[in-house]
Amino acid sequence: MKNFQNTIKKICCIGAGYVGGPTMAVIALNCPELEVHVVDISEERINKWNSKDLTKLPVYEKGLDKIIEKTRDINLFFSTNIDLAIEESQMIFISVNTPVKQSGIGAGQMSDLRYVESCTRRISDKAKGHTIVVEKSTLPVRTAETIKSILSCTNNEYEKTFSVLSNPEFLAEGTAINDLQNPDRVLIGGEDPDSISVLEKIYLNWVPNHKIIKTSLWSSELSKLASNAFLAQRISSINSISAFCEVSGADVNEVSQAIGKDQRIGPQFLKSGPGFGGSCFKKDILNLVYLCNYFGLKEVGDYWQGVININEWQQDRIYKIIVDKLFGNITGKKIAICGFAFKSGTNDTRESPAISVSKKLLSEGAFLKIHDPKVKISQIKKDLVGHSFIEDSSIIDKSIVQGSWTFSDDIFTTTQDVDAIVILTEWDDYKNVDWERISFHLRQPAWIFDTRGVLDSSIVKKYDFNYWKLGDGNQKN
Ligand code: NAD
Ligand code: UGA
């Protein structure tokens, strides 16, 4: 095993998604002596990772293109040749998606582990010699047991042995490269000290020793679910207070600033908004709720379910306020949706509050004009499937097609002639745009619904529109 530590030359990651791609790129950058292979069943995704045009990478993250430029085809390789990568690697990260199960036992809550299981079987079949298998995906507690049990059923060719580690990823989208380069902590869970030390050695190339935490497998798996649950719980807490502010005359930004100054609480994750989106918070909490109920901890499950309930309620609340302010009727009205990504700095729309708010508005018969600086129209089509997309915006000027939508990457085109603008993502583009110019071509009486507190209330008061800001109880309208 000592020799193994010194001879680890090649690692691979199964799953070239939002986590697999950036994580391996950062390992390749910091460990030039390691050969890093990222493999995926999706040829389309791998082709994008190999694209010469770096604006076509499948993941948008600030600084990622520069790292890819420096490492790709030097010590970082993207391919669909999964079997070869497994055969040749001494360490294999599993970074595939772990969505919520759609049917059967635990549907709507439990993690669907089919992708994890399928690549574990492949590893079991194709690996040679000693292989360290690292759980990078977010997994239910005790999944390592399942992985170990599948790996133990391997044939005995090539003197295969395995050890399993848990090494959950804590990066946030939009800040992924900085989070990977300067993590708050790196968590390694496992039973085999030699394997732990091999993985630790990789991270020590750029992460200080004191930031590397070593725990049992189960603590590591649970810490990841619990971290996401705690973060989401703060957002639901401040969002519940945002509603209270609106009825009581308080201002949620002032309240969150006051709360966050307490060092025991801290200022982060106290920004109220249209609710948390992203691929993980909801699914990870649902998974936690499922596990709590499975182990007979109903009260604990109910507590965490409340975090999701408040999140859904917040989105519904915002939609109802929009309808109410527009005289209770939005059928045939034009509404600009500013921001479709689940947060700024990313092109990801998974579980974006913009999807649920847009669908509700479309179902009421509104015509939506959507703008986002990073999200592609093709993605919005997938998210709003079932609602017709109007390509030719000149049609819209003649007659409104109720319950349908169009897209523009120009904010002035998007806001032309609309009855209302709903800001759903906190892009700087919306802070810095010429709101006076926008105010000239709105249909009066017009409304701006600022669900992210992007605009400066004192400045917008000068312009010719009504302004509603989430969590601001001082509004007179
Ligand atoms: P993703 O959907 O972007 O990528 C997963 C990739 O795995 C896809 O490209 C898919 O084609 C591939 N895949 C699935 N099954 C495969 C198989 N059998 N063989 C080869 N490739 C396969 O997902 P993601 O956002 O990168 O998330 C991956 C995991 O990391 C999830 O468990 C998630 O909860 C966790 N996580 C995500 C984030 C995030 O910010 N997105 C952060 C931390 C942790
Ligand atoms: C989150 C966690 O922050 C990461 O640590 C974790 O690794 C990741 O989930 C994961 O497991 O997938 P991410 O979803 O990328 O990262 O982004 P966040 O910055 O956490 O934002 C999530 C949502 O909460 C966004 O919709 C954001 O707008 C919202 N949010 C965040 C608020 O409404 N208020 C806040 O104060 C912070």
Q: What is the pLDDT of residue 467?
A: 95
Looking at residue 210, the DSSP 8-state letter turns out to be: G
Residue list, ligand 1 pocket, CB within 6 Å: 14-20, 40-42, 45, 82, 95-98, 115, 118-119, 137-138, 169, 171, 173, 279-280
Distance CA 59, CA 46 (A): 11
What's the pLDDT at 316?
98
Residue 476 neighbours by CB under 8 Å, 6+ apart? none
Residue (of 385, 349, 389) closest to 367 by Cα position: 389
Which residues, other chains included, contact 434 with Cβ-Cβ below 8 Å and sequence gap of 6+? none
Task: Show Cβ contacts of residue 317 under 8 Å, excluding neighbours closer than 6 positions.
Answer: 243
pTM of the model: 0.95
- What's the pLDDT score for residue 396? 60
Q: Given ligand 1 and candidates 13, 26, 37, 40, which is best to mutate, with the most ligand atoms within 8 Å of its CB?
A: 40
Which atom of ligand 2 lies closest to the CA of 227? 5
Of ligand 2's atoms, which has the minimum distance to the CA of residue 18? 12
Which residues are known to be catalytic? 169, 224, 280
Place of tokens 């993590």: 183
Distance 116 CA to ligand 1 centre (A): 10
Report, in this order, helix, strand and coil percent for the chain, each rounded to 5: 45, 15, 40
Tell me, in angstroms, the distance from the centre of ligand 2 to residue 350's CA: 12
Contact 271, 256 (CB under 8 A): yes
pLDDT at 419: 97
Query: What pLDDT was estimated at residue 464?
Result: 85
Q: What angle do CA 99, 104, 105 make, to 5 degrees?
A: 90
Q: What is the atom index within ligand 2 of the atom nearest the CA of 425? A: 28
Look at residue 261 in the predicted model and tell me its pLDDT: 98
Strands 367-371, 91-94: pairing kind: unpaired
Question: pLDDT means per 10 residues in the chain (477 residues)?
Answer: 67 97 98 98 98 94 96 98 98 96 92 96 94 96 93 78 97 96 98 96 98 97 97 98 97 98 98 97 96 97 98 98 97 96 93 98 96 95 94 62 90 96 97 93 96 90 92 82
H-helix or E-strand spanning residue 47: helix 43-49
Read off φ and ψ for residue 352, nearest 5 degrees: -65, 135
Q: What is the pLDDT of residue 394?
A: 61
Residue 123 has a pLDDT of 97
